[in-house]
Amino acid sequence: MQQVRVALGDRSYDIQVGGALIKTLGASCRELGLGAQCAVISDDQVAPLYAEAALASLRKAGFKPILHTIPAGEASKCLREVGRSYDVLATHRLERKSFIVALGGGVVGDLAGFVASSYLRGVAFVQVPTTLLAQVDSSVGGKVGVNLKAGKNLVGAFYQPRLVLCDLETFSTLPQREYRAGIAEVIKYGVIYDEALFSTLERKMDKVIKRDRKGLAEVVARCCEIKAEVVGQDETESGLRAILNFGHTIGHAIEAISGYGKFLHGEAISIGQVAAARLSERMLGFSSVETARVRELFVRAGLPVQLALKRASIERLMAATRLDKKVAGGEIRFVLARKIGVVEHGHKVPEALVREVVGSMGAQ
């Protein structure tokens, strides 16, 4: 088992990465000194696979867990499901020392985390992410929340979990498309922070994509470590943390204009990261050789790197980027790369250049 400490003062916590960790859930929660009552929040795809193991582990450690299941999918990341979850917790009389376990992917983690942040003004929260994407991204860093009709993640909180258990065995039931989508964030960590990780991925992508457990714990733990380092320096996203959004401004806009669900998040940010690399060439002299390396790694992971858009779609995408949460004073700012492993946030990019790069994504 690998262990990563997220250092955030009195809100510090551990991320454990390894096999069969769900079986240790109860014992780990016991060590944290949490109250007896707890709720496992999961979705109707993950619960049939792993809920019984999680509940059994909690019961064995003396807890009294209940299970609350939401429909799988992004549509559940909404205020209606938040309200339903609150009602379940209140009905079962969860109190301040009670805690919530998120068992599932990013949707479950974001929703359950927001519920935990606000029920009784905050109860303890444990993450058991069951997708690669959730393990390396959404389970680390404390950003929780839900979508509004007007956009994704417009409501939420910064709320840290007390523990994150990344059980690599859960990948065995993950559809290949979802697993690949998680790789998009793994590659991102190499691009934004760690040339050595990027090189490792170049050497081992064929094994990684086959979920070869050898080395996978190290890769997942390294991604968590990078995110933890970044978040530790900037918990509430006033500065450095923005680098985690490399490729995301365009990626989010792609998700928005194509209707959420057509592209998985990881697919949209694969296209977005290649576009961001091209913006970086024009703005910061990022080398075209490195853009090619970035592009090639996404291709080897089986991820899309191109998107041909008609003129009307380009304009809709431009409008969508302006709705991004990272807009301040009406100006869009981008994370751009100097070289693989080194990026900078807060770059203003002329709108005409964004439009040009977006317009040529079909040939990138």
Active-site residue flag, 311: no
Between the two ends of the chain, the Cα-to-Cα distance in Å is 40
Which position among 81, 185, 235, 290 bears the catalytic label?
185
x-or-dash pattern for a second copy, window 233-262, by CB under 8 A? ---xx-------------------------
Q: Which is nearer to a second copy, 58 or 357 (by Cβ)?
A: 58
Pairing state of beta strands 124-129 and 163-167? parallel
Give the binding-site size for a second copy (rule: CB under 8 A): 37
Catalytic residue check, 227: yes
Question: Could you tell me which residues come within 8 angstroms of residue 107 by beta carbon, excluding any fewer than 6 positions away?
Answer: 43, 70, 72, 73, 74, 76, 77
Distance of closest approach, residue 118 Cβ to a second copy, in angstroms:
5
* Distance from C-alpha of 3 to C-alpha of 31, rounded to nearest angstrom: 16
Kind and range of the H or E run holding 125? strand 124-129
The 3-state DSSP class for residue 69 equals strand
Amino acid at site 46: V
Give the β-pairing of 151-158 and 143-148: antiparallel
Q: Quote the CA–CA distance of 271 and 29 in Å, as a whole number.
A: 39
| Type of residue at 269 | I
Residues numbered 61-90 forming contacts with a second copy, rule: CB under 8 A: 79, 82-83, 86-87, 90
Determine, following the binding rule CB under 8 A, whether residue 2 of this chain makes contact with a second copy: no
Residue 157 contacts a second copy per CB under 8 A: yes
* Residues of this chain, 106-145, that bind a second copy according to CB under 8 A: 114, 117-122, 143, 145
Q: Helix 176-193 and helix 288-300: axis angle, to 10°? A: 160
Nearer to a second copy among residue 84 and residue 204 (C-beta): 84
**Active site includes 300?**
no
Residue 265 among the catalytic residues:
yes
Query: Which residue lies nearer to a second copy by CB, 60 or 325?
Result: 325
Footprint of a second copy (CB under 8 A): 35, 79, 82-83, 86-87, 90-91, 93, 95-97, 114, 117-122, 143, 145, 148-151, 154-158, 236-237, 323, 325, 327-329
Give me the active site residues, please. Answer: 121, 143, 185, 227, 237, 241, 245, 248, 252, 265
